[in-house]
Amino acid sequence: MTATKVHVLNGPNLNLLGAREPGVYGSGTLDDLRRRCEPAAAAAGVDLDFRQSNHEGELVDWVHEAGRDAAAGVTLGAVLNLGAYTHTSIALRDAVSGAGLPAIEVHLSNVHAREPFRDHSHLAPVAIGVVAGLGPDGYAYAIDALARRREHSTRR
């Protein structure tokens, strides 16, 4: 089966994009971010499943859903911007690992140039890779990386 979608899951406070700390996160809104992801998904030949939640349990459920889709060959994987949950949520780390979800961690800002507590990611050890500090382009790069991963695996 050929993958037909990519999941882009956004965590807490990303619904405030455009209003929250524009000097750090830019002036674009979450809807602007979704619109910037659409061409990358189209280039990969997949639909975009773009969501945001401020609730950890809902994000865990979505990671499980994406993991089932990955196991069925329906999705390339997930681009995850878990916001502050990146630094605090072992539950989300375990969800990604337990679901066997190919995931790329993404951050709009360079979290390593900010407060020291942002240096640690619970997600990074179970992610394929991490993109940080490249603004909205980081999402497109992550979608492209998932598509390239699929291309490399089908050539073998």
Q: List the chain pLDDT tens, one digit each, 156 residues.
A: 688 999 999 999 999 999 887 777 778 999 999 999 999 999 999 999 999 999 999 999 999 999 999 999 999 999 999 999 999 999 999 999 999 999 999 999 877 766 666 677 999 999 999 999 999 999 999 999 999 987 766 544
Total domains present in the chain? 1
Residue 88: inside a domain, yes or no? no
Which pTM value belongs to this model? Answer: 0.92
Residue 145: inside a domain, yes or no? yes
What CATH number has the domain bearing residue 141? 3.40.50.9100
Helix orientation angle between 56-71 and 90-99, rounded to the nearest 10 degrees: 10
Catalytic residue, candidates 7, 85, 107, 122: 107
Identify the H or E element spanning 41: helix 30-44
Residue 126: inside a domain, yes or no? yes
Q: Annotated binding site for substrate: which residue ranges? A: 81, 87, 94, 108-109, 118
* Residue 107 annotated as catalytic: yes
Domain that holds residue 25: 14-34+46-54+63-81+94-154
Residue 1: inside a domain, yes or no? no
pLDDT of res. 47: 97
pLDDT of res. 19: 86
Catalytic residue, candidates 25, 85, 122, 139: 25
Residue 103: inside a domain, yes or no? yes
Residue 4: inside a domain, yes or no? no
Residue 121: inside a domain, yes or no? yes
pLDDT of res. 156: 45
50: nearest Cα among 126, 139, 138, 123: 139
